[in-house]
Amino acid sequence: MKTVRLSPADTDDLLYVGRDLQKPDVKKKVTGQAVYTEDIDMPGLAEGRLLHCPHPFARVKRIDTSKAEALPGVLAVLTAKDAPEARFSRSTMAEALPSFAFDGERQDQRILTDLCRYRGDCVAAVAAEDIYVAEQALDLIEVEYELLQPVFDPFEAMKPGAVAVHDDVKNNIAFEMDHPFNMGDTGKAFDEADVVVEFSGVNSRQKHLHMETDSAIAHFDETGRLTVISPSQGPHLGKKHLSERVFPDLNDGDIRWISPAIGGGFGARLALGLEPVAVLLARHTGRPIRVTSTREEDFNGYSSRTDQHQTVRLAAKSDGTVIGIEQHIVSDAGAYLSHSATTSLVNMQKSLGLFRCENVYGHVKVVYTNTPVTAGFRGYGNAEGAFVLQQAIDMLAERLGMDPIEIRAKNIRKEGEQSFFIPCKLEHSRLQECIDEGAKAFDWANKFRGWDRQKDEGRFKRGVGMSILNHASGAGGFLLEHSSAIMKVQADGSANLVISPCEMGQGILGALAQVAAELSGVPYDKIRIVTGDTDVTLFDIGSHASRSMFVVGNAVADCARKINAIIRERAVPHFEKRQIKVTPDQLVAKGGEIYPEGQPDKAIPIGEVAHDEIYNFSDAGAQITASGSYLSTSHHPNHQAAFAEVEVDTETGHVSVLRYLAAHDIGRAINPLLVESQMQGAAVQGLGFALKEDFVLDQKTGEVLNDTLLTYLAPTVMDVPELETLMIEDPFEKGPLGAKGVGEAGVVNPAAAVANAIYDAIGVRLHSVPMTPEKVLAMLQSGGAENPAGSSCVSGQRL
């Protein structure tokens, strides 16, 4: 790890921020004490299991549950007739989006169905005293299906006369929308351009592969109030959605949603998973019910990255100035519309918004097929877009004989210009510095040998490539970006910090506690976090969009500053007792102590003040407490530049990444260790996306062919190249102590940078990720003419 401080901010003054402190939950995790949903026990808890349709498209003609119901230990066997008629989407995002940004929400699925649109659809749910009985009961359910003709390919599905996955949707187009920020006249720009390039590509359905499979507990208490426990990334939106869409007889306040330790999220938990069916079973049995999916169920059901077929066209002047950009996307929703529409829209935001350009056109279609439901995945469309856009910009550079760095530097947005989220200005960007510092550390100037160079001799050929990105630190103006925090100081000077984000491994609780400690005066190790319970925490849309550090961080900062002010105000009489006359403004509260500015030797403990506010009979006032809030109105982009060096084995097609370097525009790293952890983890996940992770659907049967961790190739430690991370620090005045987001960005560049490096090595461009050996070989053997998996989303043609 290397930190590049652009404006050497005064960090000596900071006790906690900028330091590699251990996050509060790490000891629980290294001792096995962290409690995940599947670890919870409670009186009367019973287990649920689901029966999935084994066909890609079928109607249930007859279902007989009598034998299952008769099995001792079975509490309930439910089918479509027992499920609410209400339709819902797994995505909870519609609750948090304005209509200008997204007008196409479809509530299109039921908890249990008798019309099965993919192999993961549930036809029955069983509750039983234990999991073994529940499993046995599944085998005793008799179902007779009427098989329907399925459609698996989105381009086939759009053709007139194609099978309708949903009767009410014409040509299976579930959602269609122009980019909200289309502008100018791209037709004219392309006519006037000196150079035009076009590139098409598609990404695989990378699985989130959170190590904890999906799980949910539902329990109605004696008053009829519902508690849901599940690894949700956004429990507040979850309860709104669950009450509004799935169980309309419940109100928002009738649900308490607890999100315990989460075994990885990556965007998958930003949707309803097993919660609805757990609630249904709990309601029918009057018992607390847990439903947990197997790994195979996770593979075959919900959810994965959305496969987005894209075509990008760029128009440029001979000096490399981009004057027009078009992006057409056809995304595969699978059987139901979840995050596939919004993730495609966000792809356009980021892809069409990266470069300063006045003529912009984007269009997206999202298509139903009889395949598993796709979703949003870390980066939320950005990695999918970068793979195509960043190859297109390199093609432009080659046509013009420009260095990849030079053409990007010429076209990126600068501070003061509009940001990719067009209504808002770009207030802070160190993308150019990421490019410059990254290039220097990578030795790009020597590694990139020009477009005309001879390729390496022999079987193994090396090449380098780069890619850049802009991402959001929360989506202010697009999502409900407000958050609130509460702090209360205990009699010993420790404090509780009540915050909403869900800890799914990113370390956000630690970073927020560091902000709270720095600004409140309560020491870091005395801050106890309360989170993950909607009865306690204040509204917040959850942990996603790299928003928690920025948006929640600002709410925590607001709250902690108030606590600091109250502590100083209440400390005045304590100094008076010691014959020291001060005003609150002359006091410093820091690191557990309060002292007159410049006189740390006169310090008294915060605990003394806090204690007396509660327990001193004569002077007691009120416990020191405050709440703070923040509303973000802009996306405040963070940025990253990445550089990859690869070696291609031209006999096997295998691509080895020798070195990968990423430089991130962080604002300020509240905890550099956590920032680096996010960058490393995201890079490896992105390299998995780039080279290995394929989700293979049998095109004849719709069956997932690799639904185990043995056959789905997630990166292991042996796949990790030499990784370097640079943090480009220059505090952003609107961030909490200068911070911007980091969680998602790192996953965006790897596929794009590796694709460009492969081109540099062997002179052919790959049109689809993962860039597996067979695709590389096919491209090499056909001289770049044939790619077995990419398709143009303009013509639908295989490339």
Residues that bind another protein (CB under 8 A): 20, 22-23, 25-36, 38-39, 41, 132, 208-213, 261-266, 294-295, 504-507, 673-674, 677, 680-685, 708-710, 714-718, 720, 723
Minimum CB distance to another protein, residue 214 (Å): 12
Bridge partner list, 466: 643
Comparison of 28 and 798: residue with beta carbon closer to another protein: 28
Minimum CB distance to another protein, residue 296 (Å): 9
Strands 173-178 and 360-368: antiparallel
Taking alpha carbons only, the member of 5, 10, 24 closest to residue 513 is 24
Minimum CB distance to another protein, residue 678 (Å): 9
DSSP for 262-330, please give it: -S--TTGGGB--SHHHHHHHHHHHSS-EEEE--HHHHHHSS-BBPPEEEEEEEEE-TTS-EEEEEEEEE
Q: In what order do the strands lie in the sheet with 142-147?
A: 115-116, 58-64, 142-147
Comparison of 593 and 707: residue with beta carbon closer to another protein: 707
Taking alpha carbons only, the member of 796, 745, 793 closest to residue 311 is 793
Minimum CB distance to another protein, residue 88 (Å): 27
Contact 550, 634 (CB under 8 A): no
Comparison of 106 and 290: residue with beta carbon closer to another protein: 290
Comparison of 5 and 295: residue with beta carbon closer to another protein: 295
Taking alpha carbons only, the member of 625, 762, 759, 770 closest to residue 692 is 770
Minimum CB distance to another protein, residue 24 (Å): 11
Minimum CB distance to another protein, residue 547 (Å): 18
Comparison of 226 and 646: residue with beta carbon closer to another protein: 646
Minimum CB distance to another protein, residue 695 (Å): 15
Comparison of 393 and 674: residue with beta carbon closer to another protein: 674
**What's the helix, strand, coil split of the chain in %, to 5?**
30, 25, 45
Question: Residue 325 is which amino acid?
Answer: I
Minimum CB distance to another protein, residue 220 (Å): 24
Comparison of 23 and 49: residue with beta carbon closer to another protein: 23
Comparison of 38 and 427: residue with beta carbon closer to another protein: 38
Place of tokens 């500015």: 597
Bridge partner list, 282: none
The DSSP letter of residue 696 is: P
Minimum CB distance to another protein, residue 329 (Å): 27
Comparison of 292 and 554: residue with beta carbon closer to another protein: 292
Comparison of 508 and 624: residue with beta carbon closer to another protein: 508
Centroid of chain to Cα 701: 31
Minimum CB distance to another protein, residue 532 (Å): 14
Q: How far apart are the C-alpha atoms of 502 and 232, rounded to whole Å? A: 7
Q: How far apart are the C-alpha atoms of 423 and 479, rounded to whole Å? A: 14
Helix (H) / strand (E) containing 51? strand 46-52
Encode 104-142 in three state secondary structure: CCCCCECCCCCEECCCCCEEEEEEECCHHHHHHHHHHCE
Question: Residue 327 is which amino acid?
Answer: Q
Q: Is the peptide bond before 304 cis (omega within 30 degrees of 0)?
A: no
Degrees, nearest 5: CA angle 415-416-418:
95
Contact 361, 186 (CB under 8 A): yes
Q: In what order do the strands lie in the sheet with 2-5?
A: 2-5, 722-729, 655-667, 638-649, 460-471
Minimum CB distance to another protein, residue 666 (Å): 16
Comparison of 274 and 280: residue with beta carbon closer to another protein: 274
Comparison of 295 and 317: residue with beta carbon closer to another protein: 295
Comparison of 36 and 451: residue with beta carbon closer to another protein: 36
Contact 345, 177 (CB under 8 A): yes
Minimum CB distance to another protein, residue 20 (Å): 8
Minimum CB distance to another protein, residue 391 (Å): 24
DSSP for 438-501, please give it: HHHHHTHHHH---TTPPPPSSSEEEEEEEEEEEE-SS-BTTB--EEEEEEEE-TTS-EEEE---
Minimum CB distance to another protein, residue 136 (Å): 11
Comparison of 622 and 717: residue with beta carbon closer to another protein: 717
Comparison of 297 and 613: residue with beta carbon closer to another protein: 297
Contact 81, 25 (CB under 8 A): no
Place of tokens 């592969």: 209
Comparison of 20 and 774: residue with beta carbon closer to another protein: 20
Indicate the Cα dihedral angle 759, 765, 768, 773, nearest 10°.
-60
Q: How far apart are the C-alpha atoms of 507 and 673, rounded to whole Å? A: 10
Minimum CB distance to another protein, residue 266 (Å): 7
Q: How far apart are the C-alpha atoms of 240 and 77, rounded to whole Å? A: 27
Minimum CB distance to another protein, residue 492 (Å): 22
Comparison of 263 and 596: residue with beta carbon closer to another protein: 263
Minimum CB distance to another protein, residue 229 (Å): 14
Torsion 293-703-337-477 (CA) sign: positive
Contact 732, 667 (CB under 8 A): yes
